[in-house]
Structure 1
Amino acid sequence: MKPIDAFYLKQEEPIQSCMMALRAIILKQDQNITTQLKYGLPFFCYKDKMFCYLWYHNKYRKPYIGFVEGHRFEETYLLQEKRKRMKIMLINSDEDLPIQNLNHILKQALDLYRNGIIRVKE
């Protein structure tokens, strides 16, 4: 078993199902997205450039998706907390995923890379 697969499988329910659904949604956004375990958590890269990751917020007791270039976004559902660059989107694992917000912010994040605002390998 790959370490990244073990990461998902060791999560308790409903966190495990939530994170696996988020992984599927992220990977479905673009064929150039890959995933790997970095710093002990699943990171998603666009053409080898990190753009988002999944983790669990201990204070709020919720999983979240973190956006590496989150400081560029003004959506009210994103939290910056004490981070300079990244913002996170908390996910309530006991409710339906906010698909519209997820697709919107993932598209915005990917467009930074696709449009050359964030340089990637060609």
Structure 2
Amino acid sequence: MKALDNFYLRQDEPIKSIFFALQEIILSTDKDITHELKYGMPFFCYKGKMFCYLWTHKKHQQPYIGIVEGKYFEQSFLIQEKRSRMKIMLLDPEKDLPVKRIKSIIQQALKLYKTGVVRI
């Protein structure tokens, strides 16, 4: 079993199911997105450049999507905390995933790479 698969399987429910759903949503966004384990967490890369990742917030115990170039986003649902570059989108495990919002932010993040705002 690959380390990446093992990461997902080690998660407790409902976080495991949320992460699997997010994996599917993100990977279906663009054929050039790859998925790998970096720094012990699942990262999604566009043409080899990291653009988002999945993790669980230690304080809130909620899963989240981390947007690597979050500094370019102004949406109120993205949280910066003490990060200079990244912002996160917390997800409530007790509610349905906001799929439209997730797809929108992933597409916006990809656009940064595709338009050259972020160098590939």
Where on the TM-score scale, by shorter chain, does this alignment land: which range? over 0.9
- In structure 1, what residue type is equivalent to 2:63? P
Aligned to 2:11: 11
Identical-residue share of aligned pairs (%):
57
Aligned to 2:99: 99
Give deviations 1:69-90, integer Å, cap 9, x for gaps.
Answer: 0010000000000000000000
Aligned length: 120
Structure 1 residue runs without a partner (length 5+): none
TM-score after normalising by structure 1: 0.96
State how far apart, in whole Å, the 2-side matches of 1:31 and 1:61 are: 31
Structure 2 residue runs without a partner (length 5+): none
Q: Secondary structure at the match of 1:35?
A: strand
Moved over 2 A (4+): none
State how far apart, in whole Å, the 1-side matches of 2:112 and 2:11 are: 31
Aligned to 1:46: 46
- 1:60 Cα shift? 0.9
RMSD value over aligned CA atoms? Answer: 0.6
State how far apart, in whole Å, the 1-side matches of 2:14 and 2:104 are: 24
